[in-house]
Amino acid sequence: MPQPPLIAVTGAYGYTGRYIAQRLLADGATVRTLTRNPPSASPFGDRVQTRPLDFTDPDSLADSLRGADTLYNTYWIRFARGNLDHDTAVRNSRSLIDAAVAAGVRRIVHISITGASPDSPLPYFRGKGLVENHIRDTSRQSSLSWAILRPTVIFGREDILINNIAWFLRRFPLFPIPGRGDYPVQPVYVDDVARLSVETASSEGNATLDAVGPETFTFKELVQLIGQTAGGRARPVPLPPPLVFAAARLMGLALRDVVLTRDEIAGLTAGHLASTDPPTATTRLSDWLRQHRPTLGRRYASELARHYRQTL
Ligand SMILES: NC(=O)c1ccc[n+]([C@@H]2O[C@H](COP(=O)([O-])OP(=O)(O)OC[C@H]3O[C@@H](n4cnc5c(N)ncnc54)[C@H](OP(=O)(O)O)[C@@H]3O)[C@@H](O)[C@H]2O)c1
């Protein structure tokens, strides 16, 4: 009997990586994840092998990837905190990609973001652009093949942004909208991102593809839709972006979280969370919101709890 292929996924206990791992397991693959924080109880039982995601040890990274046919890379950080900023995340990503090449990985499926560009003034998008370029450059000097998938904002049960908009709308009378709220947002469902990832892994050749859902809203329409569906009473109030950032900081102090960064507001208002390409995903946010109305925004989802306080 042929052995099932070994596939590596960063962050299989996280958000998008978990959906990718689920699909790989369903396809019969052997899945290995690289992660900083293995949970005490794995959602996959013993079906996913766990290795450390230790960027300070390139040999151990390569050892963990040896034998893997494909690496799905979800690693990234939302914002700079402590001594981990986007420049460091770029260096870490390069180490991971180099380790994959050293280990003989055949293909990388790399999760990037719409609007990624090495020329972006925003560190998140600039860093993503630099990592994309590193993959392209590396493949010219090796046998590595690649697919780069660029999602917009990803929605799903474990998401932070859309859930927390609902959480705020349920609790407060007003909801601050940066600027006029007329910039586009085109959310994509997390399992559609996983499906596209798995599909691009098995296609031939190198490709960059936007992962975008079928519905485009202005940000104000998105907030109104979430409010109507979740039953929130808050009225959207357009405010200058710096005031929205100040309000987000105050809320962050109260919630012991980083609610929204200045750069995230800039990326949102610049229209980076939409694509000019045709939709590649099918799940409609409006349908999904209706199906998840009872749980939507019931609990606040904290980025710091998820990634900095090791609560897994
Ligand atoms: N979520 C979205 O709306 C969205 C939109 C567009 C693009 N993306 C991109 O899609 C990919 C997956 O996003 P996701 O939201 O699903 O991510 P996630 O599961 O929360 O995290 C993905 C990976 O990044 C690592 N990571 C996250 N925050 C970290 C931190 N502060 N310090 C060190 N490592 C950290 C995780 O490590 P551990 O496993 O060790 O926790 C995991 O390996 C990312 O590359 C992201 O840029 C996301």
Residue 11, sorted as left (phi over 0), alpha (psi -120 to 50) or beta, turns out to be left
Which of 32, 307, 308, 312 best tests ligand 1's pocket when mutated (most atoms within 8 Å of CB)?
307
What is the rounded distance in angstroms from the CA atom of residue 116 to the CA atom of residue 93? 15
> What tokens were used for 98?
């180099």
Give the residue from 149, 296, 300 showing the smallest Cα distance to 226: 296
- Check residue 310 and give its pLDDT: 60
Q: Considering the domain 6-154+188-211 in this protein, what is its CATH number?
A: 3.40.50.720
Which of 9, 16, 53, 55 best tests ligand 1's pocket when mutated (most atoms within 8 Å of CB)?
16
Residue 112 CA, chain-centre distance (Å), reads: 8
- E strand segments, the chain: 6-10, 30-35, 48-52, 68-73, 107-111, 145-151, 154-155, 174-178, 184-185, 188-189, 207-211, 217-218, 235-239
Asked whether 153 lines ligand 1 (CB < 6 A), one says yes
17 CA: nearest ligand 1 atom: 19
Q: Are strands 174-178 and 154-155 parallel, antiparallel or unpaired?
A: unpaired
Which of 9, 76, 130 best tests ligand 1's pocket when mutated (most atoms within 8 Å of CB)?
76
Per-residue b/e over 94-105, b at no fewer than 16 CB within 10 Å?
A: bbbbbbbbbbeb
- Do 308 and 302 contact (CB within 8 A), yes or no? no
- Check residue 98 and give its pLDDT: 98
The amino acid present at 2, given as its one-letter code, is: P
What is the rounded distance in angstroms from the CA atom of residue 213 to the CA atom of residue 112? 16
What is the rounded distance in angstroms from the CA atom of residue 74 to the CA atom of residue 3? 25
Cβ-Cβ contacts under 8 Å for 288 (sequence gap 6 or more) = 155, 189
Distance 76 CA to ligand 1 centre (A): 5
- Check residue 112 and give its pLDDT: 98
Asked whether 53 lines ligand 1 (CB < 6 A), one says yes
Q: List the chain residues with pLDDT less than 50.
A: 311-312
> What tokens were used for 213?
């859902």
Domain ranges of the chain: 6-154+188-211, 156-185+215-307
Asked whether 151 lines ligand 1 (CB < 6 A), one says yes
12 CA: nearest ligand 1 atom: 39
14 CA: nearest ligand 1 atom: 19
Which of 74, 93, 108, 222 best tests ligand 1's pocket when mutated (most atoms within 8 Å of CB)?
74
Give the residue from 130, 129, 134 showing the smallest Cα distance to 116: 129
- Check residue 312 and give its pLDDT: 38
Distance 16 CA to ligand 1 centre (A): 8
154 CA: nearest ligand 1 atom: 3
CATH architecture of the domain with residue range 156-185+215-307: Alpha-Beta Complex (3.90)
Asked whether 113 lines ligand 1 (CB < 6 A), one says yes
